[in-house]
Amino acid sequence: MTTATDIAEAQLKMPAQREPSVERRLLHRTLKPLFGTPVNAIVTLACLWILWLAAKGAYGWLVTRAVTEGGAQACKVGHGACWPYYEAKLRFMIFGVYPYDEHWRVALAMILFLGAIGITMIPRFWNRNLLVLWSMTIVAAAILIWGGVFGLSYVPTTQWSGLPLSFLLSAVGLAFGFPLGVILALARSSKLPAIRVIAIVFIEVIRGVPLISILFMASVMLPLFMPSGITVDKLLRAQIAIVIFAAAYIAEAVRGGLQAIPRGQHEASSAMSLHYWQAMRLVVLPQALKIAIPPLVNISIGFFQDTTLVTIIGLLDFLSTVRTAMTDPNWVGIAVMEGYVFAAVVFLVFSYGMGAFSRFLERRMRLGLD
């Protein structure tokens, strides 16, 4: 008769089953969604095949069949990327008609601006010193681009063009449009009928027309209403139009975040004897902005890309300089793909950077590290 002691001794004599290693569990967890079922395996293999074809074609166009020496004639008979075109037209595509010998100024201004943005993205620098940093950056960038002081030659806004112009329009438009959008969102959520109606009318009118129409009105119609002898710079008119348009869309994104805040938060603010603006600043708005991060980033990416529309009012934005470079008689019909590929890469880098930062913010705020 088998006893419990015999069973225990038999189990001890059995070889112990080794648990899978961490690497094997991680590999299984990674591959299971890709090849766990026949359908998943087919889809994964099809995607890998498409990626392989795309990578192979891109490598062949950029490296294997690329033309690296010579000029337009060499690229004309080639079947790959025309690298001499970038050598000849890269500075024009980036800086446009800004004076050639002064390109270092606008390049330095962009480096300062991007550096300030990079520092702003680091959470440990989120304090009042950022206001000092941005004040200094804006003043330094304005002096470099505009000139007229410290021995720098004056460059009128009619010569501001290329990537710096697109970056300026989108960055300034969103920087000024964000606080205006927050105010409009609070006004639309107000209990005061007059303020709420004014905010609703403003937001719906601006969102009801395309950006092209607002740019056209700012460029063509606005001067007709100005007093005789008073003119407003074309770039400033376009910038104001973009600020107003951005504010209307940001207002709706922030209003969505405000509506998602439970009523208990408002009641808790009242219980703590906080008046309206204290409750909004300390309790409601921080939570609403957390919720509104995805749509706000989507708006930012869209407006950076929509700066290409300013070409209809005579401003030479980044995409316009890329197209203008293609009209050079020496390169017409030769380097068409190169310009658009460069523009696509630039837009992709900036857009992906903004999207990656938004995902970082969402993870940080989800963990309560703010």
Assigned token pair, 66: 């690329």
Query: What Rg, from alpha-carbon coordinates, does the chain have?
Result: 29
Specify the residue for token string 């309560």: 368
pLDDT of residue 108: 92
pTM of the model: 0.79
The span from the CA of 74 to the CA of 63, in Å, is 15
Contacts of 140 (CB under 8 A, 6+ apart): 109, 112
Measure Cα distances from 131 to 109, 118, 172, 312 in Å. 18, 14, 15, 35
310-349 per-position pLDDT tens digit: 888 888 888 889 888 888 888 887 777 888 888 999 999 9
Contact 295, 256 (CB under 8 A): yes
Contact 311, 165 (CB under 8 A): no
Binned average pLDDT, 10 residues per bin, the chain of 370 residues:
58 54 64 73 87 89 83 78 86 89 90 87 80 87 87 88 88 87 88 88 89 83 73 83 90 87 78 78 81 85 85 85 86 82 90 85 64
pLDDT of residue 17: 52
Q: Which domains, from first to last, does the chain contain?
A: 38-96+316-346 (no CATH), 99-312+347-367 (1.10.3720.10)
